[in-house]
Structure 1
Amino acid sequence: MSKEKVSLQVKIQRMGNFLSGMVMPNIGVFIAWGLITALFIPTGWFPNEYLARLVGPTITYLLPALIGYTGGYNVYGKRGGVIGAAATMGVVIGSDITMLVGGMVMGPLAAWIIKKVDKLFEGKVKPGFEMLIDNFSIGIVAALLMVAGYAVVEPIFSVILSTLAQGVYWALNKGLIPFTAIFVQPACVLFLNNAINHGIMAPLGIQQVVEHGKSILFLVEANGGPQLGVLLAYMFFGRGMAKKSAAPAALIHFIGGIGEIYFPFVLMKPKLIIAPIVGSMVSLFIFQTMDGGVVGIPSPGSIIAFLMMTPKGSFIANILGYGIGCLVSMAIAGALLRMDARRDAELEAQEVAAAADVAEVTEIAPVAATATADAQNTVVLGVKIKKIIVACDAGMGSSAMGASVLRNRLKKAQIEGVEVKNASISNLPDDVDLIVTHFDLMKRAKANVNRTNVSFMGIRNFVEATQYDEIIHQVKQNNA
């Protein structure tokens, strides 16, 4: 992969992480809104005109304001969050379109502006006037941004979002939504799923729910059926460690909804991406033909969230789409795995030999500033490892599982005094000694750490216990 392509991938990953950092903390509220919508709107399970009044204000005001607050908070703490929420109201008031995108833009922008304003006054305020200046500066800037948002930004966003919505309706009417899988599924495997789901599909999907009561746009990326099919294919037709780890991965994916757990199974055999592409196309075709869809973001993408967000009258379509997409993906992936059975055995032997070479290099590495155990691994020798961070894109699902696996491995190895936590790749703590992350996220991890004495070690699968053996060995060596 060229340097330009890697750079573009990293930039898109960062954007996806930034967007998910605004949406993920508020997913619970999205689910609450989705449940109220599914239950109490006129076409819901228990139509109730009184309780249905909660639907409109929640999606029109509360959710955009929460996203604006969270986006501002991520840029400049509580002060940034407060002005972010205020600025978001400027684009929300008067708009006929749900302004989630307005919150994603105005929140961080307002926080950045007040951060710059605060720097102008830094060291120039006389003692006793700090609170006065702080309150009036944020008040004045917030008022200006609210007016600007209402008079200038909101009309621009309304035109853009209306155009995008019309494009989606055109694609739906022409039956083109299934073809989005050709682009979405490969992008997801490269950890661009957050950029797609939270940056594109969620805002447009929410608007469709407001207008039509449900949307299939949430299921373009969040439908886990085709991904589950790949894991099931490895269970029945895979070989070696991939086959052994596929069963727990499938269970975690199906019940827990951690989509990232399937990525390594495709990355180790890139041609398998054909399976989820075709499976997703079939699923989306069924959703579209049978009028399926969900009322909110099914996050995490487990079967439980999928069914909870399914409105009355769409269960058959959604279950058929999920199940048939899974079976199609499994059939294609299984056929490809069986064709590669002999070559897999040879590859496995090569991997074992390569692992032995890595272990040997690690064992005899001389005491120096750094030693490289892998092309991307950077291990600082002689520095005691007291805190390990397992990092993923959002810092919630796969990294939490990885941290749990690593803690158990450390306990079995009788290594004490080492703290293991999970975190987002963009919010790595300063006091970390070793960062463990997926190889595809390694460049971002290194870019987000300023200290030079931090070690980095990559893995291919967050839940495969044997991959942590090299990390255990390194901890023992550094802490000896």
Structure 2
Amino acid sequence: MSNATAITEVKNPSPSARARIQAFGGFLTNMVLPNIGAFIAWGILTALFIPTGWIPNEKLAEIVGPSITYLLPLLLAGTGGRMIAGQRGAIMGMIGAIGLIVGSGIPMFLGAMIIGPLGGWVIKKFDKSIENKVPAGFEMIVNNFSIGILGFLLMILSFYVIGPVIESANNFVTSAIKSLVATGFLPLLSLINEPAKILFLNNVIDQGIYYPLGMQETLKEGKSIFFTVASNPGPGLGLLLAFSVFGKKAAKRTAPGAIIIHFLGGIHELYFPYVLMKPLTIIAMIAGGMSGITVFNLFNVGLVAGPSPGSIFSYLALTPKGNFLGVIAGVVVAAVVSFVITSIILKLDKKADEEEDFTSSIEKSKSMKSEGKQILSSSLVNPTSNTISKISFACDAGVGSSAMGATTFRKRLQKKNINGIEVKHYRIEDAPKDSDIIVVHKDLYERARLSHNDKKIITISNYIDDPNLAQLINELEEK
């Protein structure tokens, strides 16, 4: 084996199981985060107007049920479908989601996070199978009827099959976790939560399990402890306070600043390098998490929505009436326990920390997070290249003239034996950011420039046979 080959293999290892799970968590996060504002709006609505809320209002409380049943799952499904196949994927995802919603008796958050990407995948595969096979001028009818027919089939499948299966699985998980609550073993979840955070797997747990369960419980009870079991900022606060007092060198200098970003800003990743530098402190994080959950449980408190980011401000904003004492106590106790145990660990550690130790921990933390991101990004976007690999035809709606222009241009490339260039059609604002060239009608140039000022834009007068298109063909042929 040559040295070059050896180096390549070292630099491109197979993704670890952790990285793959992390990438999955990143996918869930990218589906949820754009819609967090809607979840918070629902949480505020619930906290204010349900019978046990701050200002009960029977009429406004009528919005709570339909919002959690229809609005939030449809938003998730639409976002998941769009991540896979753009606007067509979003439509397919929402069509499939309505079958789930009507065919089940619970809020279909988990179902929406499955059916949305599935709908996007179905239409993406279909579009790929008919690429370069649709006669010019028939693009719009094929595009519309393909979504109509496939969406209809997915809706029926969701109603009769996918929805009941997901509901059964959801009921099983809910029963299992409720058993932990009833037996007092809920704090044991910290044995999973805290190590998962350090490995950047917290999004899988939060967005995939706790948040959907929390929303269901909130609809019935007006709050849920599930929103607090993995997001409590107390353990991280205690750890960073201990490093601020008993840490050494770089760790001690940086910990106070990290406290502000972690506790007030809600970015928990700031404390991960400190745990990686002193792995034994994971004990403090687990103990802090367990103590916090214990206090939340004793006070019978919860939040009305998922706190994202996990800031103390988010916690207080989403705390319902009568729960402030218990919520604050859970955060404070978790911080105290974590602080005490971390302090003991740091005091007993006689090793003199080097500047490089903390720097190495930061780099390790970044590497662990980026590994999952790389897997996720490689599965959603095309790799970039210095050559022209993507040409986007764009028009006002993205389904008429631009579709015909893209079909005709692809066929001209085939006749010239020019391969490896993706040619698709979009609404102007939806043209992908990784497009090498965007083709628009000359009257739409200013509009295209507003959304794509960093792209090469070619203007034409005729989407089928235009001198500028002929010149582009010649340039591509020369390359």
User: Considering the TM-score relative to the shorter chain, is it more than 0.5?
Assistant: yes
Partner residue of 1:68 out of 77, 88, 92: 77
Partner residue of 2:354 out of 348, 353, 358: 348
Name the counterpart of 1:320. 329
Name the counterpart of 2:341. 332
- Quote the Cα distance in structure 1 between the aligned partners of 2:24 and 2:320: 31
Structure with the greater alpha carbon radius of gyration: 2
Matched, 1:163 2:91: no
Structure 1, unpaired ranges of 5+: 356-373, 378-436, 454-480
- Quote the Cα distance in structure 1 between the aligned partners of 2:230 and 2:14: 22
**CA apart distance, 1:296:** 0.5
Partner residue of 1:176 out of 176, 185, 191: 185
Q: What is the alpha-carbon root mean square deviation over aligned residues?
A: 2.3
Go from structure 1 to structure 2 and tell me whether the alpha carbon gap of 1:57 and 1:445 turns closer, same or farther (over 3 Å shift).
closer
Indicate the SS of the match to 1:241: helix
Go from structure 1 to structure 2 and tell me whether the alpha carbon gap of 1:246 and 1:209 turns closer, same or farther (over 3 Å shift).
same
Partner residue of 1:252 out of 261, 264, 281: 261
Matches within 5 A, 1:248-287: 248-287=257-296
Indicate the SS of the match to 1:83: helix
Identity %: 44
Name the counterpart of 1:103. 112
**CA apart distance, 1:444:** 3.9
The Cα offsets for residues 163-215 of structure 1, whole Å up to 9 and x where unpaired, read as 11111221110011101101110111110011111011111111111121111
- Quote the Cα distance in structure 1 between the aligned partners of 2:356 and 2:41: 50
Matched, 1:300 2:323: no
**CA apart distance, 1:443:** 3.5
- Quote the Cα distance in structure 1 between the aligned partners of 2:374 and 2:222: 44
- Quote the Cα distance in structure 2 between the aligned partners of 1:147 and 1:349: 60
Go from structure 1 to structure 2 and tell me whether the alpha carbon gap of 1:77 and 1:246 turns closer, same or farther (over 3 Å shift).
same
Q: Is the 8 A contact 2:92 2:120 kept in 1?
A: yes
Partner residue of 2:88 out of 79, 94, 106: 79
Name the counterpart of 1:93. 102
Q: Which amino acid aligns with 2:83?
A: N
TM-score, normalised to structure 2, is 0.74
The Cα offsets for residues 21-51 of structure 1, whole Å up to 9 and x where unpaired, read as 1111111111110011011100001101111
- Quote the Cα distance in structure 1 between the aligned partners of 2:57 and 2:222: 15
Indicate the SS of the match to 1:114: helix
- Quote the Cα distance in structure 2 between the aligned partners of 1:114 and 1:183: 37
Name the counterpart of 1:189. 198
Matched, 1:439 2:399: no
Q: Which amino acid aligns with 2:169?
A: I
**CA apart distance, 1:120:** 2.1
Indicate the SS of the match to 2:52: coil
**CA apart distance, 1:156:** 1.2
Go from structure 1 to structure 2 and tell me whether the alpha carbon gap of 1:5 and 1:329 turns closer, same or farther (over 3 Å shift).
farther
**CA apart distance, 1:4:** 11
- Quote the Cα distance in structure 1 between the aligned partners of 2:204 and 2:276: 19
The Cα offsets for residues 40-78 of structure 1, whole Å up to 9 and x where unpaired, read as 100001101111111111110010000000000110111
Q: Is the 8 A contact 2:26 2:372 kept in 1?
A: no
Go from structure 1 to structure 2 and tell me whether the alpha carbon gap of 1:451 and 1:5 turns closer, same or farther (over 3 Å shift).
closer
Name the counterpart of 2:209. 200
- Quote the Cα distance in structure 2 between the aligned partners of 1:151 and 1:442: 39
Indicate the SS of the match to 2:133: coil
- Quote the Cα distance in structure 2 between the aligned partners of 1:195 and 1:127: 44
- Quote the Cα distance in structure 2 between the aligned partners of 1:444 and 1:310: 33
Moved more, 317-326 or 160-169: 160-169
**CA apart distance, 1:441:** 2.9
Q: Which amino acid aligns with 1:155?
A: P
Go from structure 1 to structure 2 and tell me whether the alpha carbon gap of 1:351 and 1:121 turns closer, same or farther (over 3 Å shift).
closer
Partner residue of 2:225 out of 208, 216, 220: 216
Indicate the SS of the match to 1:214: coil
- Quote the Cα distance in structure 2 between the aligned partners of 1:5 and 1:289: 46
The Cα offsets for residues 64-121 of structure 1, whole Å up to 9 and x where unpaired, read as 0000000001101111111111111110113221100111010000110011111222
Q: Which amino acid aligns with 1:225?
A: G
Name the counterpart of 1:59. 68
Q: Which amino acid aligns with 2:278?
A: K
Matched, 1:7 2:16: yes
> Paired residues, what number?
369
Q: Which amino acid aligns with 1:141?
A: L
- Quote the Cα distance in structure 2 between the aligned partners of 1:326 and 1:126: 66
Matched, 1:228 2:156: no
**CA apart distance, 1:153:** 1.2
Structure 2, unpaired ranges of 5+: 1-11, 387-479
Q: Is the 8 A contact 2:31 2:80 kept in 1?
A: yes
TM-score, normalised to structure 1, is 0.73
- Quote the Cα distance in structure 2 between the aligned partners of 1:163 and 1:446: 33
